[in-house]
Structure 1
Amino acid sequence: MKLSHFRHVVAVSEQGSLRAAARHLNVEQSAISRSIRELENELGTPLFERHGRGAIPTKVGESFVNRAIHILNEVRRASDEVEQVRGGYTGKVVVGLSTVAHIVLLPKLLEPYRRRYPDVQLDVVEGLFPSLQSSILAGSIDFYIGPPPEYSIPPEMSQEKLFDNTRQVVARKGHPLSQATSLAELSEAKWVTTSITAKPEEELRELFAAHGLPPPKLALRAHSALTLIVSVAYSDLLAMAPSQIVEFPLISHAVVAVPVVEVLPAPPIVLVQRFGLHLTPAAELFADFARRVALQRYRQG
């Protein structure tokens, strides 16, 4: 097997057809066809089911593609590490960051990191652990920083807590309930829920129930921080969001924290990576900068 075989089979899987894979890799379609045929002959089994509109991996093909992705990621990482150990500043670092990680960590570490590795390509993927888990396991993402999943992480991964966190009720500036001091005063309001957990509406219901209040009225489910911020800033909807939202300069002009007396717990912010994944110097430095910023924030209370 050659690395070109792995690249071709992954491209066909991701692009959905041999023609699209050839266009994506800028090679002749005949080269893709030859690679797939050689692999299937060597393995003694079909890797794709061909049909009029393209190609779909077989069960064996799915397993092979997953392994091929892992191999290509390791090859890319090995090449980057050799260059960086030799004193070079090129390569690629892929990190998954939640909204809180974007707001708390990235502004303080980005410029120092860029000064150290000005020519390293940073690939920042916004998301939460459940949507990024498969990419972390495959090595496509070096590590993830954000709230942990509500379930235990897989045994193939390690988890390191960076700092604890809290949440606040968030409203637009000028909201008629912006000066409320208890959840009871918000019982008639309508809410935006997030997608941090599998059943985000349960978070609000459990919180209200714990204080002897009826279930809140849920009006919108946000699958991104941008949706949540826009929904709150341009309507009378309320949200329970990480405390950092109202501290962020790009957002603070539009929303305020409602000063309720109840404590609103939030999951901690953690760093998750795959066991046995040896980070390149550039990736390790990014993680180390994130630890330093988190430690400074923790010391500041």
Structure 2
Amino acid sequence: MDLWALNLRHLDAMARIVELGTINAAARKVNLTQSAITQAIARLEAQLGVSLFYRKAQGMSPTEPALLLAPRVEAAMRQIGSTHVTMARMRALLALADAGSYAGAAEATQLSMPSLHRAVTDLSLASRRKLVERRGRTLAFTEAGLRTVRAFRLARADLLAGLSEVEALLGRETRVITIGAMPLSRARILPAAVVRFARSWPAIKIAIVEGSRSELLEPLRDGAIDFTLGALRDPMVEPDLLQEPLFEDRPQVFARRGHPLENARPDLAALARHEFLLPPTGTPLRDLWDEGFRGVGLDPPRVTLETGSVMMIRQMLLETDRLTLLSPDQLSAEIAAGMVVPVLTPQSGPVRSIGITMRAEWRPTSAQEAFLKTLRALSC
């Protein structure tokens, strides 16, 4: 189902009937006549290929597709926050934001540049806010424009989730779970969860977006990512996000096989004399590691390579006398092969809480909730 072929007002009318129980009550809420709403619901049912209501003398009783779709429409309308927004206007603004120019938006949507420009201009006039402005030869979004784009992206995500649930009822599986994967999650728990989930939900597509927390937060807030998996922040300071801890990870100091410290059982003072391969300053693991040394009056070890790439760290670890601090899960293959060895497990060292980060107002689909349950089960 093409989202942009639907009428936003018709969807809103459907959700109001689910909420209020009658066409008459919904008509007053959305400022349409009863006959207009009746026609709108009939057209929407034809487009979706489902019946949305049982017609009864005492009112309208929603079918399962309506019960799945209505909460998504309500969430989308809260994000949009205006009766002046149409599907055409929302599509135009999002296409412009994604492409960065009217020419690019026209190419992506196969719509004409004048129609896109008119839709964005009409939206700006209706909302009484300048959304886009020219800066030299380029277009730039104002602060109001950026807020509107984010709201529209979240609204689009809710509507697409609702439509995918309806499609699944009809046997047409279009649901996608998009997961933001931070480095540690890719070592063990995420692959295991994908394998287990696929046994019960083989038709669900899973998309993995790799990156650091800072790289994944904006796509998460925009609705492009459903949730992220990785190291949590303590304390959590973003009110629009929620964190759910899954398990704790205790990193160890590793060296190549044959390293001078292999059987030395070094203390922090001995470690401080060696060079390390570590994530950049500002990441939870690095900051906790450095604080551990400063807490006993030592300068942290010299870091000759700052990177979050386990692949890069692994190769340099094997070919030099440098040390690193990683989760055993991230080097499980090398440990099993005897290529690297732990030289210290800091008893009072850094402990990371690994878990899920999601939008505070996010409402998982049935498939997304099943995947979350799989993650929780694997973390027990």
TM-score scaled by length of structure 2: 0.69
Report the Cα distance in structure 1 between the residues aligned to 2:98 and 2:334, rounded to whole angstroms.
Answer: 36
Q: Distance in 2 between matches of 1:194 and 1:111?
A: 29
When residues 171 and 153 of structure 1 are mapped into structure 2, their CA distance, relative to the original with a 3 A threshold, is: same
RMSD of Structure 2 on Structure 1 (CA) = 2.7
The aligned counterpart of 2:184 is 100
Kept in 2: contact 1:178–1:256 (CA 8 A): no
- Tell me the equivalent position of 2:100: 16
Report the counterpart of residue 147 of structure 1 in structure 2. Answer: 231
Cα 1:180–1:20 shift into 2, 3 Å:
farther
Write the distance in 2 (CA, Å) between the matches of 1:71 and 1:61. Answer: 15
Identity level (%): 24
- Residue 161 of structure 1 corresponds to 245
Q: How does 1:262-273 map to 2 (within 5 A)?
A: 262-263=346-347, 264-273=349-358
Q: Residue 203 of structure 1: CA displacement?
A: 3.1
SS at match of 2:134: strand
**Number of matched pairs:** 294
CA displacement 1:119-162 (0-9 Å, x = unmatched) = 33212122344433333333322222211124324233332221
Partner of 2:317: 232
| Residue equivalent to 1:56 | 140
Instruction: Please give the per-residue CA displacement for 1:89-131, whole angstroms capped at 9, x wherever unaligned.
Output: 3221111222222222123222332233333321212234443
CA–CA distance in structure 2, aligned partners of residues 146 and 91 of structure 1: 23
The answer to whether the aligner puts 1:34 opposite 2:118 as a matched pair is: yes
Separation (CA, whole Å) in 1 of partners of 2:327 and 2:88: 45
1:171 and 1:29 mapped to 2: Cα distance? 59
Higher CA-based Rg: 2
Which amino acid in 1 is paired with 2:223? G
User: Which segment drifts farther, 273-282 or 21-30?
Assistant: 21-30
Q: Distance in 1 between matches of 2:334 and 2:94?
A: 39
1:293 and 2:378 equivalent? yes
Give 3-state SS (helix, strand or coil) of 1:259's partner: strand
1:84 maps onto 2:168 in alignment = yes
Q: Determine if the alignment matches structure 1 residue 178 to structure 2 residue 257.
A: no
Greater RCO (CA < 8 Å, at least 6 residues apart): 1
**Counterpart for residue 75 of structure 2:** none
TM-aligned CA distance change 1:15 to 1:91, over 3 Å? same
1:162 and 1:268 in contact (8 A); partners too: yes
**Counterpart-to-counterpart distance in 2, 1:37 and 1:161:** 45
Query: 1:15·1:21 contact (CA, 8 Å) conserved in 2?
Result: yes
The corresponding residue for 1:246 is 331
The aligned residue for residue 52 of structure 2 is none
| Deviation, structure 1 residue 231 | 3.6
Do structure 1's residue 112 and structure 2's residue 196 form an aligned pair?
yes
The whole-number CA distance in structure 1 between the counterparts of 2:320 and 2:299 is 23
Which of 296, 299, 304 is the matching residue for 1:214?
299
Confirm whether residue 25 of structure 1 aligns to residue 109 of structure 2: yes
CA contact (8 A) 1:84 1:282 kept: no
Q: Any unmatched runs of 5+ in structure 2?
A: 1-84
Match of 1:282, SS state, is helix
The 3 A distance-change label for structure 1 pair 92 and 286 is same
Shift in Å, 1:88: 4.2
Cα shift readout 1:207-227 (whole Å, capped 9, x = no counterpart): 223445433112121033333
Deviations 1:12-66 (A, max 9, x none): 2232211122233344333322322222232233311124543110122111111
| 8 Å Cα contact 1:129/1:149 also seen in 2 | no
> Secondary structure of 1:67's match?
helix
The offset of 1:271, in angstroms, is: 1.7
Give secondary structure in 1 for the equivalent of 2:202. Answer: coil
Q: Which residue of 2 aligns with 1:299?
A: none
Give me the whole-angstrom Cα distance separating, in 1, the residues matched to 2:169 and 2:363. Answer: 13
Is this contact kept in 1: 2:130–2:142, CA < 8 A? yes
Task: Give deviations 1:178-217, integer Å, cap 9, x for gaps.
Answer: 3341233323211122148448654333222344543311
Q: What SS is found at the alignment partner of 2:344?
A: coil
Letter in 2 for 1:155: P
Task: Give structure 1 regions of 4+ aligned residues with deviation exceeding 4 angstroms.
Answer: 85-88, 198-201, 250-255
Question: Does the 8 A contact of 2:233 with 2:284 survive in 1?
Answer: no
For 1:35 and 1:149, locate their aligned partners in 2 and report how far apart those are by CA, in whole Å: 41
Q: For the residues of structure 2 that align with 1:175 and 1:258, how far apart are their CA atoms?
A: 10
Distance in 2, Cα, partners of 1:196 & 1:281: 39
**Where does residue 67 of structure 1 map in the other structure?**
151
CA contact (8 A) 1:12 1:55 kept: no
Deviates more, 1:283-292 or 1:102-111: 102-111
